Chain A
Amino acid sequence: MAELTMVEALNLALARAMADDETVLVLGEDIGRDGGVFRVTDGLIDRFGPERVRDTPLAEAMIAGVSVGLAAQHMRPVAEIQFMGFLYPAIDQLVNHASRLRTRTRGRLTCPMVLRAPFGGGIHAPEHHSESMEAMLAHIPGLRLVIPSSPARAYGLLLAAIRDSDPVVFLEPKRLYRAPREEVFDSGEALPLDQPFVLREGDNVTLVTWGAMLKETLEAAERLAAAGAECTVIDVATLKPLEMAPILESVGRTGRCVIIHEAPLTGGFGGEIAARLADQGLLGLLAPVTRVAGYDAVMPLPRLEEHYMPSVDRIVTAVERVMSFG
């Protein structure tokens, strides 16, 4: 057992998947010899060769399309997009093809591909290198959307994504890439998809989040506990398809929910969770469901990044507000 960063854990999962299954191929820009922008694929080319670890031309539509073509014939491609901001040329393949092959052909074709992309802010990279557009992807039926929030979950969820027989977009919160570290055992065991993780239990408020915002959310829970408010913290992990049961169960107990995400507020995925709570859990609520989110503005240059990202203070304030009801 070793203390690994998320980058190392992802690398370990990729190596494990490739060693276990010859149909797993890795492709993307600069991912071979150079191990990718963030070194997630470091060393794979030496171990598995350029036939399986392929430096591609700079062409995201092609990277995604080639992956669909491979996956529809029982290969398991894992493609890397350098930053989420460069995913847009590949959207056609995800929306129109990858996510629809199964349903359109009634299961005659399937698309077991994974498309990985680092996302989110907090590393002082400008605009296209820092955005969180996960809600766009969560809108696509047939696609799975998975976001890990720690090295061990990154390892287990990436293995699950690769082994799953549906297309998965796997968004990696790059702010967590190099810290914190966590014990990761290379067991080859996948974590369940479509299953939120309850990371902390408390009876007063339910905090729901995903990705890098877990860091601030857990800190806020810690600070609130010191002041006497006990929070349950839920890492949604698989945004699509969304499993609401643990969230409903917890909010049924606490009667209060704050949803935290880095992405802009309007149309953000928090809205979906809030709507489902209103629909399925309204009578158990003691206070309005509140969201702490990024502003409806473009991800700023590094100087203003801290102001954009939801802070521990903003989360604490939101919790205090929902605690002030009833």
Chain B
Amino acid sequence: MVAADTTNRSQSAANDDISQDERLELWRLQVEIRHCEQRAYDLFLQNLVKGTSHLSLGQEGIAAGFAAAMQPDDKSFCTYRGHAHTLARGAPMDAVLGELMQRDCGLMRGKGGSMHLTSAEHGVMGSYAIIGAHLPMAVGSAWRAQYMGHDDVSVVFFGDGTTNIGAFHEALNYAAVFKLPVLFVCENNLYMEYTPIGQITAVENPAADRASAYGLDSILIDGNDADAVFRTARECIAKARAGDGPSLIECKTYRHSGHSRADPGKYRPPGELERWKENDPIKVYRARLAEFGIGEDVVQRIDDEALRKVDEATETAKASPLPPEEILTTDVYANGGWAWRN
């Protein structure tokens, strides 16, 4: 069992097992996601993103830590809160923002939207807006790998609220029985939409405390420390790839924004957000890089570069046309759309 310990994050270079390049990559991923999510929020306010959207501000450490540990062939399954994971796997940012804006340059050319980001060529096998539904899908993906003799690992991300739906338990049991190469990653941000998870869950740690029911190790880590996430991801992925079965990993974290665009987050007790902002993954990691003697100029350059990338992607997406209205009725079946046979 790995305990979530946020009090003593200090590491010594002596026992360090993460290279400088890996750290800079973890930093790049986190700042790119941070800037891109902030941009997504701004674009809502400008009414350029319509509908709803769920941001990962404050949860970047998890997306970065896992993506950095994954190989190009590995598969990600995300929830509606999936921008971060999709970007982290290398999906082009203009196509992500374009999809949010329903543009033709979007990942799915404007038909899937914020909640369904998919980029199979980057291993992102979809984002799913129905709680729990993608866990069995990830299990199917892992069965495919096991049966076909492929050595990719499937990683499925979901929230704390998801641990109370049947599909979570059904998927874990199946994966454990057949020792499938799949990682179940719970991003415990302490709330489902508005209800604190502790109020409606029988155990304290909604994922970790259930692991033993499926014969799995209880793994609880600090999701706001990208190094901790990366280490755990690396270890569990290696285990899955070696044929030693699934893992269930609970990452403690906190979302800085509301649940979705419309949510001001008023249900949070005063001071809670401020406390967690002290524990912001970006802040934590900036300090980590300094601790390891990486120059502030290098760190800042990556940050600036990330913002520039977001600016460029925004312009590309804005310039992209809207897809034609007939996409409404196309691609319903392999041989046609709605108009077919109606």
Contacts and interface: CB of A to CB of B under 8 A. Distances in A.
Instruction: Indicate whether A and B interact.
Output: yes
A228 interface: no
Given A103-B332, A141-B332, A109 B125 contact: yes
Nearest to A56: B174
A142 B126 contact: no
Nearest to A68: B137
B109 A109 contact: no
A166 B136 contact: no
Interface string A222-255: 0000000000000000000111100000000000
A73 B123 CA distance: 11
A28 to B, nearest CB: 13
Contacts of B142: 69
Given A104-B112, A106-B330, A110-B334, 19 more contacts: A59-B173, A65-B136, A65-B171, A66-B136, A66-B143, A68-B136, A69-B137, A69-B139, A70-B144, A72-B140, A93-B133, A97-B137, A103-B331, A103-B337, A104-B116, A106-B108, A108-B118, A109-B118, A142-B333
Interface in A82-112: 89, 92-93, 96-97, 101-110
Contacts, number: 140
Contacts of B125: 69, 72-73, 109
Interface residues of A, number: 46
Interface in A128-146: 141-142, 144
Interface hub of A57, A73, A75, A107 (most chain B Cβ within 10 A) = A73
B120 interface: yes
Interface in A52-76: 52, 56-57, 59, 61-62, 64-73, 75
A107 B147 contact: no
B140 A69 contact: yes
13 contacts: A56-B174, A57-B177, A65-B134, A73-B141, A75-B144, A77-B140, A92-B130, A103-B332, A104-B111, A105-B111, A106-B109, A108-B118, A241-B340
Nearest to B135: A65
Interface string B97-124: 0000000000011011000101010000
A244 B341 contact: yes
A71 B340 CA distance: 24
B70 interface: no
B109 A52 contact: no
Contacts of B133: 65, 92-93, 96-97
A180 B187 CA distance: 55
A81 to B, nearest CB: 14
Interface in B124-182: 125-126, 128-130, 133-144, 147, 166-167, 170-171, 173-174, 177
A269 to B, nearest CB: 15
A25 interface: yes
Contacts of A73: 75, 125, 140-141, 144
Nearest to A61: B167
Nearest to B173: A57
A20 interface: no
A168 to B, nearest CB: 11
Given A103-B331, A109-B118, A109-B126, A72 B137 contact: yes
B140 A68 contact: yes
Given A56-B174, A106-B331, A70 B112 contact: no
Interface in A162-189: 164-166
Nearest to A242: B341
B140 A97 contact: no
Nearest to B336: A241
Given A70-B143, A165-B334, A62 B136 contact: yes
A105 B143 CA distance: 23
A72 B126 contact: yes
A51 B147 contact: yes
B341 A241 contact: yes
Contacts of A67: 140
Contacts of B137: 65-66, 68-69, 72, 97
Contacts of A65: 133-137, 139-140, 167, 170-171
